[in-house]
């Protein structure tokens, strides 16, 4: 693949997704990007991280993809928005990397999570990588904003043991203000996963002043409970760990003055989900 960066472990592995990474795939010709997207022979990754305990059950190896069509005001990884900021990696190399972890992940009842960015911006690569990892007997999870879920067939969804669906807001207008995109396709994907009885966790980022309305959260909780496939809800407190990336990338950051919520406030939000019979943390 012409223009593919020289890969080494240092480049491929990050201590955390909070490392700022830009232009790593800039040398890849457009024609290679187009063919990679069409076939999934190559993908673009911000990094691999190991040892996460918050991105699915057990200990996870996470591959962070680049490319995202959302523009969440609180995004802590805006360097993942642009696909060409990621490292170009062949499907074979990515699979080989994950193969190294297979025994450890099985022993620790952990697995592999594909996150981003939005992994389904590279849906062929995502599906082929998840399928290859699944074939190794490793638990697979997809962390997604859900809006491109229609790109996956029912059979392809069968290769994913768990979908972590990020629902940013129940209210259409607030969702648009917060992400720049519509919530409708996200909810359609949630309904489809429910119909297929595919296990799902809902992730909800709680941002004071933006996604903290109790009525709104209760409506989302009712919807999630009605689906029947939601195993748990993670209420994720807004934080400022990604602020420096907005500054470095010279992006205008609207949440400069927003303080992370207090633990009791998050507990209150969890209680709204629990009131509908869901497990919430
Ligand atoms: S969907 Fe995720 S990666 Fe995309 S803008 Fe929102 S928080 Fe950032």
Ligand 1 binding pocket (C-beta < 6 A) is 68, 70-72, 75, 77, 80, 116-118, 145
- In this predicted structure, what is the pLDDT of residue 142? 98
CATH number at residue 171: 3.20.20.70
Report if residue 4 sits inside a domain: no
Residue 188 inside a domain? The answer is yes
Which pLDDT belongs to residue 13? 83
Q: Is residue 230 part of a domain?
A: yes
In this prediction, residue 7 carries a pLDDT of 60
How far does residue 103's CA lie from ligand 1's centre (Å)?
Answer: 31
Residue range(s) defining the domain that contains residue 184: 9-274
What number does the ligand 1 atom closest to the CA of 80 have? 3
Q: Per the domain annotation, does 101 fall within a domain?
A: yes
Instruction: Return the best residue to mutate from 18, 118, 186, 236 for the ligand 1 pocket (most ligand atoms within 8 A of CB).
Output: 118
- Which DSSP string do the residues of 163-182 spell out, in sequence order? EEEE---SSHHHHHHHHSS-
Ligand 1 centre distance from Cα of residue 72 (Å):
5
Structure tokens at 122: 């590279």
Read off the tokens for 72: 């969440």
- Could you tell me the distance, in angstroms and rounded to a whole number, from the CA of residue 255 to the centre of ligand 1? 15
Q: Say how many domains are in the chain.
A: 1
Q: Which two tokens stand for residue 13?
A: 């592995």
Q: How far apart are CA 198 and CA 196, in angstroms?
A: 5
Distance 127 CA to ligand 1 centre (A): 19
Helix, strand, coil share of the chain (percent; to 5): 40, 20, 40
- Residue among 50, 43, 70, 42 nearest 177 (CA): 70
Stated pTM of the model: 0.94
Residue 258's Cβ-side half-sphere holds a number of Cα atoms within 13 Å equal to 21
- Nearest residue to 111 (alpha-carbon basis) of 40, 162, 68: 162
Residue nearest to ligand 1 atom 7, measured at CA: 75
45, 117, 239: residue to mutate for ligand 1 pocket, most atoms within 8 A of CB: 117
Among 248, 170, 229, residue whose Cα is nearest residue 205: 170
Q: Please, are residues 114 and 64 in contact by the beta-carbon 8 Å criterion?
A: no
21 closest CA partner among 225, 224, 279, 248:
248
pLDDT at 8: 62
Question: How many angstroms is it from 243 CA to the middle of ligand 1?
Answer: 14
Ligand 1 atom nearest the C-alpha of 145 is: 1
Q: What digits encode the pLDDT tens for the residues 190-207?
A: 999 999 999 999 999 999
Q: Indicate whether 59 belongs to any domain.
A: yes
Q: Is position 280 within any domain? A: no
40: left (phi > 0), else alpha (psi -120 to 50), else beta?
Answer: left
Strand ranges of the sheet holding 200-206, from the earlier edge strand across to the other edge:
87-90, 42-52, 60-65, 111-115, 139-144, 162-166, 200-206, 230-237
CB atoms within 10 A of CB 183: 23
The residue nearest atom 6 of ligand 1, judged by CA position, is 72
Closest residue (by CA) to atom 8 of ligand 1? 75
Q: How far apart are CA 81 and CA 117, in angstroms?
A: 6
DSSP H or E segment with residue 93 = helix 91-99
Kindly list the averaged pLDDT for each block of 10 residues, start to end, along the chain of length 281.
Answer: 53 80 84 91 94 93 97 96 94 96 91 97 98 97 98 98 98 97 98 98 97 98 98 98 96 97 98 98 97
Q: Calculate how far, in angstroms, residue 75's C-alpha sits from the geometric centre of ligand 1.
A: 5
Assigned domain for 279 exists: no
């Amino acid at each position: 693949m012409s223009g593919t960066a020289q890969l080494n472990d240092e480049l491929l592995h990050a201590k955390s997704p909070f490392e700022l990474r830009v232009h790593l795939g800039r040398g890849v010709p457009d024609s290679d990007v187009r063919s990679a997207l069409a076939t999934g022979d190559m993908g673009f990754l911000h990094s691999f991280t190991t040892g996460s305990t918050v991105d699915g059950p057990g200990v996870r190896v996470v591959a962070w993809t680049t490319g995202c069509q959302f523009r969440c005001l609180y995004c802590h990884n805006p360097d993942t928005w642009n696909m060409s900021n990621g490292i170009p990696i062949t499907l074979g190399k990515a699979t080989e990397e994950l193969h190294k972890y297979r025994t450890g992940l099985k022993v620790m009842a952990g697995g592999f999570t594909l996150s981003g960015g939005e992994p389904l911006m590279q849906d062929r690569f995502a599906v082929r990588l998840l399928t290859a990892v699944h074939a190794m007997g490793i638990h697979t999870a997809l962390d997604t904003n859900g809006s491109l879920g229609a790109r996956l067939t029912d059979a392809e969804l069968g290769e994913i043991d768990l979908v972590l669906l990020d629902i940013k807001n129940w209210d259409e207008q607030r969702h648009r203000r917060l992400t720049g995109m519509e919530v409708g396709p996200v909810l359609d994907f949630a309904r489809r996963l429910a119909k297929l009885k595919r296990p799902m966790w809902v992730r909800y980022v709680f941002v004071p002043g933006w996604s903290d309305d109790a009525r709104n959260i209760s409506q989302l909780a009712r919807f999630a409970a009605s689906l029947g496939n939601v195993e748990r809800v993670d209420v994720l407190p807004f934080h400022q760990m990604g602020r420096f990336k907005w500054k470095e990338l010279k992006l205008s950051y609207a949440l400069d003055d927003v303080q992370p919520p207090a633990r009791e406030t998050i507990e209150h939000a969890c209680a709204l989900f629990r009131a509908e019979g869901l497990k919430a943390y």
